Structure 1
Amino acid sequence: MAASGEDDASKQDLFHLIKRFGAYVSFKISDLFNLSFHNLDIRTIGAVAGLAVAIVFTWRLLRSPSDNQGRQRKRQGAASSNPGVSSTHSNASVVPSDACLPSDESRAQNVVDEFFQPVKPTLGQIVRQKLSEGRKVTCRLLGVILEESSPEELQVKQATVRSSVLEVLLEITKFCDLYLMERVLDDESEKRVLVALEEAGVFTSGGLVKDKVLFSTTENGRSSFVRQLEPDWHIDTNSEIVTQLARFIKYQLHISPYKTERTAANVFSAPTLELFFGSA
């Protein structure tokens, strides 16, 4: 009768434990599904699918202590019925389950916590998130993609692509229609820019072609290119152009080494393009 009472108590404890675990998992699920559907990515979908695995695994963990206790009572009963086994040896071989196993509740919570550990997003995921899933981007070259900051510099030396921005640039080309543009003073400057981009491997990724690198002879010419293309994002270093385009372009990123006041709600700023995406 005593064994029956212990079984009833164990079942009651297990019942309460399952209720607590259910409430905990429900809280985690509610957090997961508070995300809007358009922000769901492969990682989120994988988390939903894997949740079922975590629940089954945890259920097996919850059952194992009860099964072990039942087998332990059977071994203890068999040992006590065997006169050839001393009571000292029997007591030494029976180890209370509480002493060697963590509590059911802490084990269940550990399993769920491990499953919901935050996963560091990839650079591609950060780029898509920062650009709000924008599909067309226009960007000036000087001071953003190139080390040079003025058209006059392009007349006297070879153009140089900034190595720190290259990874971000290639990620943008993977899912965005990217157009690069710049003001140049002569044809030689234009050739130097194209050679620098080609040597950096920008055209080998398949997302950018030479026809999408545009040149003009004036700053207003670049502004006109942007308005004609109607991008989701424009990236520029010229504050006047950024201000002029604020009414026409959905989002803009002003690249400036100095902290600037936000001129409009749709204008963001950063010292460099890579810092905007947190990759530097």
Structure 2
Amino acid sequence: MADSSKEELLQLIKRFGAYLSVKMSTLFSISSQNMNTRSIGAIAGFAVAIVFTWRLFRSPTGPQRRQPKRQAPASGSSGVNPPSNSTLTTTGVSSSEDTRAQNVVDEFFQPVKPTLGQIVRQKLSEGRKVTCRLLGVILEESSPEELQKQVTVKYSVLEVLLEITKYCDLYLMERVLDDETENKVLSALEDAGVFTSGGLVKDKVLFCSTENGRTSFVRQLEPDWHIDTNPEIIFQLSRFIKYQLHISPTRSERATSNVFNSPSLEQFFGCV
């Protein structure tokens, strides 16, 4: 019985190895331009070995059923014998082993969903400094006149905003009509928890009295990314800023290769 178990294990490993080689060949052909194949093979081989071993030893190995004794053929029966129990058992084990090996490898090669932090870094092309206007992006209001009446933070964007502050030096900016509005905006952002992560402080929220003032802020800060809703500012800065994101409910034609479009900041990062 021990020899039979060892033989079954060896057969399973052989089939697993054959199926794995096909999977790894496909993976290498796709990833060879981005990663060193030797590194991929080492990582994947080690991970697969762990998963395979865990799956193998996790499976309960109860006592094997005793094979029923094969009865002698009755007299007068034809000379053609039906398949023996041992043949049927071997075929069943072989099919089961192939299925188990395929399931382990397929599960290992399932795509892993990236985290929001990984998406943010990928989308921002590892940019380290970001400037962003408030109206229409972080705030529900769309004009300085509306801000004089109320300030409403878009809570749907907070998760993305706080994730950006973990990897980037973020500056928020907006045109306001008076000092009272500035205080309202800062209080609303503080109440929403924007300043709790430590990545964004009140000193990095900038206010100006004209649209050209916001353009000057961006030029002085020289960010890797600028996020705005004003198409004129996007156009003016396209020659000076590496990347820009134009937030607009209607998709406009992409004037330059470094300007991206999205209905909202959270949609750009796939959070909606």
TM-score by length of 1: 0.75
For 1:230, the equivalent position in structure 2 comes to 222
Q: Distance in 2 between matches of 1:60 and 1:111?
A: 10
Deviations 1:45-104 (A, max 9, x none): 999635314246658999xxxxx9xxx9xx88xx9xxxxxx6449x88997132256354
Contact 1:253–1:270, Cα closer than 8 Å, also in 2: yes
1:115 aligns with 2:108: yes
Count of residues in correspondence between the two structures: 245
1:139 aligns with 2:132: yes
Q: Distance in 2 between matches of 1:222 and 1:150?
A: 14
Deviation of 1:106 after TM superposition, in Å, equals 3.7
For 2:251, the equivalent position in structure 1 comes to 259
Q: How does 1:41-190 map to 2 (within 5 A)?
A: 49=43, 51-55=45-49, 58=52, 87-88=70-71, 96-100=89-93, 102-155=95-148, 157-190=149-182
For 1:40, the equivalent position in structure 2 comes to none
Contact 1:151–1:184, Cα closer than 8 Å, also in 2: yes
Question: Does the C-alpha gap of structure 1 residues 29 and 56 become closer, same or farther in structure 2, counting only changes over 3 Å?
Answer: farther
Contact 1:158–1:196, Cα closer than 8 Å, also in 2: no
For 2:211, the equivalent position in structure 1 comes to 219
* Structure with the higher helix share, 1 or 2: 1
Contact 1:178–1:208, Cα closer than 8 Å, also in 2: yes
Q: Distance in 2 between matches of 1:142 and 1:176?
A: 20
For 1:30, the equivalent position in structure 2 comes to 28
Counterpart pick for 1:240 among 211, 215, 232: 232
What secondary structure sits across from 2:180 in the alignment?
Answer: helix
Q: Distance in 2 between matches of 1:47 and 1:236?
A: 44
State the AA in 1 paired with 2:144: P
Counterpart pick for 1:20 among 14, 18, 21: 18
Deviation of 1:151 after TM superposition, in Å, equals 0.5
Q: Indicate the percent of aligned positions where both proteins have the same amino acid.
A: 63
Question: Does the C-alpha gap of structure 1 residues 35 and 178 become closer, same or farther in structure 2, counting only changes over 3 Å?
Answer: farther
Runs (5+) with no aligned partner, structure 1: 1-9, 38-44, 63-67, 80-85
State the AA in 1 paired with 2:223: P
Q: Distance in 1 between matches of 2:122 and 2:105?
A: 27
Contact 2:55–2:104, Cα closer than 8 Å, also in 1: no
TM-score by length of 2: 0.77
Contact 1:254–1:270, Cα closer than 8 Å, also in 2: yes
CA RMSD of aligned residues (A): 3.6
Q: Distance in 1 between matches of 2:12 and 2:183?
A: 75
Question: Does the C-alpha gap of structure 1 residues 48 and 153 become closer, same or farther in structure 2, counting only changes over 3 Å?
Answer: farther
Contact 1:142–1:182, Cα closer than 8 Å, also in 2: yes
